[in-house]
Structure 1
Amino acid sequence: MADAGLIQDDERLRRLEAVTDAALSRLDAADLFDELLDRVRDLLGVDTAAILLLDPHAQQLVATAAKGLEEEVRRGFRVSVGRGFAGRIALTRRPVVIEEVTPDAVVNPVLLAMGLTSLLGVPIFARGELIGVLHVGTLRHRQFTADDVRLLELVADRASLAHFARANNLAQTAALALQRSLLPNQLPEVPGLAMAARYVPGHVAGVGGDWYDVFSLPSGWLGLVIGDVSGHGLQSAVVMGRVRSALRAYALVCGDPAEALALLDRKVSHFEAGSLTTALYVMVSPDRGKIRISSAGHLRPVLAVPGRPGALVPVHVDPPLGTGRRPPARRQTEMDLPPGAVLACFTDGLVERRDEVIDVGVQQLVDAVRPDPPEEVCRTVMAALGVEQPTDDIALLVVRRQPTHG
């Protein structure tokens, strides 16, 4: 009997190692689902294994991966929470065993067509929330044991990790696509001005909330915007897109950048609660000789005029957008933009370093900005501030009024 106990313990250990193998962590989400289902079929001696993930909006389970039940996935089978075998597991959030499959017990026609006799299913949780169901089945009568249930629950835990990896990959892809659609592929050609820009992601996901925008207005004025939405990833990219679109709309009805930012603040505070945003809005006059600037918590731009050293523009820095508090009236600053002058707008990732006060980086930027062609200014600034491996996103927008000749 002692030998039988040792054999049983060895078998349990083999089963445990098979589903906690470190090699599994190196697989991508889709491959991990497939590998887990292959292993669980082998370990439990079952004929089918399937994962159904929860669609929270529809409150339905969707067939996502299967072994022996591939038709279920090909058909895109869905079952509502509470209906049938998988639906009952999702509703009760507990393992369910069916020793004799009947049409009353299951609603999936693929399970019946397969001739499955016995089924075992367990819920899949992530951070305490139900995200799906994992079930296995046999073509012969089977009495599933408590050990079988525990093993399947362990596999479900691994499946939840795969789900998160899959979800993160999808979110990152979506965020990248969204961000690329919002950042200008090419800056517009504007009479009397030359422009250049840089965007460098400072996060492993490659997606942040920094953005810049350039647009012409019916009045002949030109709008320049640079901003920073707190956070990273898809949610920040979505908020960035909403803020960008809203500011464009307000710019059409406001000839004052401070007024446009005041309207944007109300929108962000109400509809994007919890998303702290800074923005700098610059309007350039039709003759390109004047600029109006308003800052919502954003760093002041640098102005370099021929014959004078570069300097920060003396613009009032009002509170960021989305604080939820009613700020005092936002202010604008109007000033000349002489021929040959360069205006450099930027986000804090360009000048902020963890080991030094931000003033050091700002001064380095001021020293680097010269009244030169914008593309040359961008190259000089990026080299001077050493941003090959930034720790935060960087956006830089440089505009120069074309010099007069003769």
Structure 2
Amino acid sequence: MIEADGAGADERLRQIEAVTDSALSRLDVDSLLDELLGRVRNLLSVDTAAILMLDEHTQHLVTTATKGIEEEVRPGYRIPLDHGLPGRVVEQRQPIMVEQVDPADLPSPVLRDKGIRSMLGVPMIVGTDLIGVLHVGTVSPRRFSPDDVRVLHLVADRASLASQARVGNIDRTAALALQRSLLPTRLPEVSGVDMAARYVPGHHTGIGGDWYDVFTLPSKWLGIVIGDVSGHGLRAAVVMGRLRSALRAYALECNDPADALTRLDQKIQHFEAGNLATVLYAMVSPHRDEIHISLAGHLPPMLAEPNGDIRPLGLPVDLPLGIGRPRQRCTSVINFPQNATMVVYTDGLIERRNELIDVGFDRLRAAIRPGAAEEVCATIMTELGIEQPDDDVALLTLRRRAKAERATSAA
């Protein structure tokens, strides 16, 4: 039966309102998906509806929400990408309608047992990324109309945005928790030096792979690390955590920063292929009068000397880690006078869009004032305006205490 144009328009409007209802926005994601599937069953008069999300790591579709088969298919049911109608939707990234379903086309034995005869599936896409499949089924043969496809697309779009938002929130929360667990809650108190640090996550790009670390070695040398893993989000934070742990282990075995970074480079190329990182690793001597430094593609430290001279250290910079072109890395040795301050940082501190990096170096140099490490750190952050950076920022300041100051502190 063909509806009159007015009745058809009213029905389409009712369908759109049911899917775009603003009240749905007040639901949590799981409740929203459940409600959407309930509404699509009523709108399309189908017997089953299901949302399957793509797990790119395992190349499976994972059942996330169902209606009509929820008592039989629990969330987490996995379907290989080359299996059934959902797999064909993923491959073609287009709606697929099957009026008479071959049992082999059904994604689960539960649907076969239920006697599903016809199915319609549409891709769930955010931007250019396919993130899942929404499919419906009927126990009676059914020829789905173009209007049915449009309604299912509307539901898929609403479900996609909600699911992607949840994934993004989980990703950011997990990355932030991981990063905070790996950054020192407080810097160690060690003889002869005064230290302070800051970490600010990027405002637009989210959590990333920046980190800093300070540790005392059995030899009484002091290890100083600052690094930046390429990328952002949970993946970069996970790689950062692995590199941080590995470098600590290599530091126990190596008396030369270049050797430790060489081993870390091999670790990245073998176990973290495709990832890049810049790292500064420095070792401060037990008497605190020398610093041995190796730079793997990282920006050089600034040194504020007691005479007021402030300059970037002109040290050789080796290739970043993960490039895949092994070369001999080098360690530089610098004097660390009493009351001198070394400033190490990641590129988010000084780089700005549409600006030469030399401008950032000059701005940092102008912001460094003689004083305690905490004062130097606070002044840099204030004068460089690090409130909502485009990239993550890690900053560490290290001042060598004067002998008189050490004696007073010891007393």
TM-score between the two structures when normalised by the length of structure 2:
0.82
Q: Which residue is 1:146 aligned to? A: 145
RMSD (Å) for aligned C-alpha atoms: 3.5
* Partner Cα separation in structure 2 for residue 105 and residue 348 of structure 1: 49
Q: Relative to structure 1, is the Cα distance of residues 210 and 47 closer, same or farther in structure 2, using a 3 angstrom cutoff?
A: same
Contact 1:178 1:238 in 2 (8 A): yes
Q: Relative to structure 1, is the Cα distance of residues 322 and 32 closer, same or farther in structure 2, using a 3 angstrom cutoff?
A: same
* Partner Cα separation in structure 2 for residue 228 and residue 369 of structure 1: 22
Q: 2:109 aligns with which of 99, 107, 110?
A: 107
Query: Which deviates more from structure 2 when the two are superposed, residues 49-58 or residues 382-391?
Result: 49-58
Q: Relative to structure 1, is the Cα distance of residues 356 and 53 closer, same or farther in structure 2, using a 3 angstrom cutoff?
A: closer
Q: 2:84 aligns with which of 84, 88, 97?
A: 88
* Partner Cα separation in structure 2 for residue 235 and residue 59 of structure 1: 18
Q: Relative to structure 1, is the Cα distance of residues 157 and 128 closer, same or farther in structure 2, using a 3 angstrom cutoff?
A: same
- The runs of 5 or more residues in structure 1 that have no matched partner are none
Q: Relative to structure 1, is the Cα distance of residues 356 and 52 closer, same or farther in structure 2, using a 3 angstrom cutoff?
A: closer
Q: Relative to structure 1, is the Cα distance of residues 153 and 216 closer, same or farther in structure 2, using a 3 angstrom cutoff?
A: same
Shift of 1:180: 1.4
Q: Relative to structure 1, is the Cα distance of residues 273 and 393 closer, same or farther in structure 2, using a 3 angstrom cutoff?
A: same
Q: Relative to structure 1, is the Cα distance of residues 360 and 58 closer, same or farther in structure 2, using a 3 angstrom cutoff?
A: closer
Q: Relative to structure 1, is the Cα distance of residues 76 and 391 closer, same or farther in structure 2, using a 3 angstrom cutoff?
A: closer
Contact 2:223 2:284 in 1 (8 A): yes
Paired residues for 1:7-406 under 5 Å:
7-16=7-16, 18-19=18-19, 29-46=29-46, 49-55=49-55, 62-67=62-67, 71-72=71-72, 75-76=74-75, 78=77, 80-81=79-80, 88-93=84-89, 94-96=96-98, 107-108=109-110, 120-126=119-125, 127=128, 129=130, 131-135=132-136, 143=142, 145-147=144-146, 148-204=148-204, 206-327=206-327, 329-405=328-404
Contact 1:33 1:159 in 2 (8 A): yes
Shift of 1:237: 1.2
Task: Give 2:109's aligned amino acid.
Answer: V
> 1:264 is paired with a residue of what secondary structure?
helix
Contact 1:310 1:366 in 2 (8 A): yes
Shift of 1:63: 3.9
Q: Relative to structure 1, is the Cα distance of residues 41 and 11 closer, same or farther in structure 2, using a 3 angstrom cutoff?
A: same
Shift of 1:317: 1.6
Shift of 1:283: 0.2
Shift of 1:303: 1.5
* Partner Cα separation in structure 2 for residue 23 and residue 205 of structure 1: 30
Shift of 1:207: 0.1
Deviations, residues 75-121 of structure 1 (Å, cap 9, x unaligned): 546264599xxx6332443444579x9xx997339x97xx8987744
Task: Give 1:394's aligned amino acid.
Answer: V
Shift of 1:356: 2.9
Q: Relative to structure 1, is the Cα distance of residues 203 and 154 closer, same or farther in structure 2, using a 3 angstrom cutoff?
A: same
> 2:132 is paired with a residue of what secondary structure?
strand
> 1:252 is paired with a residue of what secondary structure?
helix
Shift of 1:198: 0.3
Query: Which deviates more from structure 2 when the two are superposed, residues 156-165 or residues 275-284?
Result: 156-165
Deviations, residues 326-376 of structure 1 (Å, cap 9, x unaligned): 33x222111222222211101111111224322222122223223411111
* Partner Cα separation in structure 2 for residue 90 and residue 128 of structure 1: 16
* Partner Cα separation in structure 2 for residue 137 and residue 152 of structure 1: 14
Q: Which residue is 2:93 aligned to? A: none
Q: Relative to structure 1, is the Cα distance of residues 313 and 79 closer, same or farther in structure 2, using a 3 angstrom cutoff?
A: closer
* Partner Cα separation in structure 2 for residue 130 and residue 384 of structure 1: 43
Contact 1:378 1:396 in 2 (8 A): yes
Q: Relative to structure 1, is the Cα distance of residues 283 and 232 closer, same or farther in structure 2, using a 3 angstrom cutoff?
A: same
- The runs of 5 or more residues in structure 2 that have no matched partner are 90-95
* Partner Cα separation in structure 2 for residue 77 and residue 326 of structure 1: 43
Q: Relative to structure 1, is the Cα distance of residues 398 and 14 closer, same or farther in structure 2, using a 3 angstrom cutoff?
A: same
Q: Which residue is 2:92 aligned to? A: none
Task: Give 2:349's aligned amino acid.
Answer: L
* Partner Cα separation in structure 1 for residue 76 and residue 199 of structure 2: 43
Q: Relative to structure 1, is the Cα distance of residues 143 and 352 closer, same or farther in structure 2, using a 3 angstrom cutoff?
A: closer
Q: Relative to structure 1, is the Cα distance of residues 72 and 380 closer, same or farther in structure 2, using a 3 angstrom cutoff?
A: farther
Contact 1:89 1:133 in 2 (8 A): no
Contact 1:239 1:272 in 2 (8 A): yes
Identity across aligned pairs (percent)?
A: 54
